[in-house]
A = this chain, B = another copy of it.
Amino acid sequence: MRHPTAYCTCWPGATVWLTGLPSSGTSAIAEELVRRLVPERRRVEVLGGGENRAPLTADLGSGREDRIAGVRRIGLVAETLARNGILALVPVIAPQADAGTAVRRRHERSGTPFLEVHVTTPAEVCTEREVKGPYTRGQATGNLTGPTGPTGADDPYEPPHTPDLAIPAHRQRPEESAALLLGLLKERGLA
**Interface positions of A (Cβ within 8 A of B):** 1, 3-4, 7-10, 31, 34-35, 38, 41-45, 53, 55-56, 59, 69, 72-73, 75-77, 80-81, 84-86
Contacts and interface: CB of A to CB of B under 8 A. Distances in A.
B8 A84 contact: no
Interface centre among A9, A72, A84 (most CB of B within 10 A): A84
Contacts of A84: 43, 45, 81, 84, 86
B72 A55 contact: yes
A76 B59 contact: no
A80 B31 CA distance: 17
Contact of A77 (B38, B42, B77, B85): B77
A42 B4 CA distance: 9
A34 B31 CA distance: 33
A72 B52 CA distance: 12
Interface centre among A43, A55, A72, A76 (most CB of B within 10 A): A55
A7 B10 contact: yes
Given A84-B84, A86-B84, A41 B8 contact: yes
Contact of A1 (B4, B7, B38, B53): B38
Contact of A76 (B9, B42, B56): B56
A42 B6 CA distance: 10
